[in-house]
Amino acid sequence: MDTLKEAVRTYATAHANPDGLALTAVPGLRMMCVEAPRGDLHSIYRPLVCLVLQGAKLMTVGCEQRVFSAGQSVIVSADMPVVGRIIEASRHEPYLAIAVELQLTVLRELTAHLGGVRPPRPSRTLTLFAEDTQAAVVDCASRLMRLLDRPEATPLLHDGISLELHYWLLSGQHGEALRALVDPTSYASRLGAAIAILRQDYQSPIRVEQLAAAAGMSLTAFHKHFKHMTSLTPGQYQKRLRLIEARRLMLELGFTATSAALDVGYESVSQFTREYARLFKTPPKRDVLRVRNSSREPIGAIHSLPPNHSFRGTAPPTDDTWHPHRHVGGSNKCHVLDGVAWKLSFETLRPLSLRFPSATNTCPRLP
């Protein structure tokens, strides 16, 4: 563990953005190093596993607050709106974490190979878990880190390490929840089809009937299970996506509050201002000024990489495998949530969406 902590600290110190988050050229791998407690960071998590190596982080999901500390792994099994705050960190012992996004195709293949009796469907979809970090998981994370120094080895070794990591997670304490993520009849999988639509078309009005149909549910069942899984209604979820993106446009691209509001789909600037202040605790113009006057202040849940960012000689992936660069919406916006975003053109990085089985063809309609 000490070797992994040192490797994460060294890499993040050299490559992290102002929030302490560092992307890597290894698909799905990113890390964080923060030397002091930070304010709230609004994110919508993708399915991932995060190993907390040092320090502690307070995470708020809906009305639930949980503290995750060193030695624990956080598993997020669905697209979740989360507010994170670093609460234990110092210059000598910074908060250190390493995260790997889960690959649904790998989970699906492993689940089919492992077989077993399908567990009964729970009354509520649980999406956020903590468990003591397994030594085997630490070993996989360490080997992924080593690929940063050997980029030529990534195409040969990455898939095998990733497969092993997913196996240990599936065989662990919360394997059933991960199986549900790729079970086409599960609430998590079916709601994922609706969430993919919200991410893709967050700028446009979306009828809830369209979302319910994508999930293969009645309106009543869809509202109930969507709220249980995400802690938000579909409208609130779409609003969260819009506000996070509007903040990025103002902070990273210099948009005015008016232009940002219109770009993400608001028709009323006054409504945008009210809802922005409600989420971020301050009006947009004041928020932007505060951030620009304090370079060490977190600047939100989405950031853009510089256009000339170098990958130590390794080009960004251009295949259709699961990697940390994910499409949120818009013509050429490829984002990573939980603190970072890439904004690349389709010519260098194709936007990808979560892949879910067709609800129409494979999912029976819920009552």
Main-chain phi, psi angles of 76, to 5 degrees: -110, 120
Percent of the chain with pLDDT over 90: 49
Return the H-helix or E-strand segment holding 41.
strand 41-45
Return the H-helix or E-strand segment holding 163.
helix 154-170
Query: How much is the average pLDDT of 292-302?
Result: 48
In angstroms, the CA 15 to CA 216 distance is 43
Phi-psi region of 232 (alpha: psi -120 to 50; beta: other; left: phi over 0): beta
Q: Which of 242, 296, 316, 302 is nearest to 273 (CA)?
A: 242
Quick one: pLDDT at residue 174? 85
218 has a pLDDT exceeding 50 = yes
Quick one: pLDDT at residue 119? 53
Q: Cβ distance 322 to 103 under 8 Å?
A: yes
Tens-digit pLDDT profile for residues 257-278: 999 999 999 999 999 999 999 9
Whether this prediction's pTM lies above 0.75 is answered by no
Identify any residues that bridge with 339 across adjacent strands, giving them in sequence order: none
Q: Cβ distance 340 to 299 under 8 Å?
A: no
Quick one: pLDDT at residue 138? 96
30 has a pLDDT exceeding 70 = yes
Residues of the domain holding 258: 1-367
Quick one: pLDDT at residue 104? 87
Q: Which of 81, 72, 98, 11 is nearest to 44 (CA)?
A: 81
In angstroms, the CA 73 to CA 137 distance is 9
Q: What are the structure tokens assigned to 257, written together? A: 């509050």
In angstroms, the CA 141 to CA 162 distance is 9
> Bigger pLDDT: 227 or 120?
227
Q: What is the dihedral of CA 178, 179, 184, 190, to 10 degrees?
A: -20
Quick one: pLDDT at residue 337? 38
Quick one: pLDDT at residue 316? 38
Query: How much is the average pLDDT of 300-325?
Result: 36
Percent of the chain with pLDDT over 70: 76
Q: What are the structure tokens assigned to 208, written together? A: 């809830």
Q: Which of 46, 31, 14 is nearest to 196 (CA)?
A: 46
In angstroms, the CA 223 to CA 201 distance is 19
Quick one: pLDDT at residue 325? 33
CATH number at residue 40: 2.60.120.280
Q: What are the structure tokens assigned to 272, written together? A: 């945008």
Q: Quick one: pLDDT band at residue 82, thresholds 50, 70, 90?
A: confident
Domain count, the chain: 1
Q: Quick one: pLDDT band at residue 176, thresholds 50, 70, 90?
A: confident
181 has a pLDDT exceeding 60 = yes
Query: How much is the average pLDDT of 206-219?
Result: 95
Query: How much is the average pLDDT of 30-39?
Result: 91
354 has a pLDDT exceeding 60 = no
Residue found under tokens 């070794």:
157
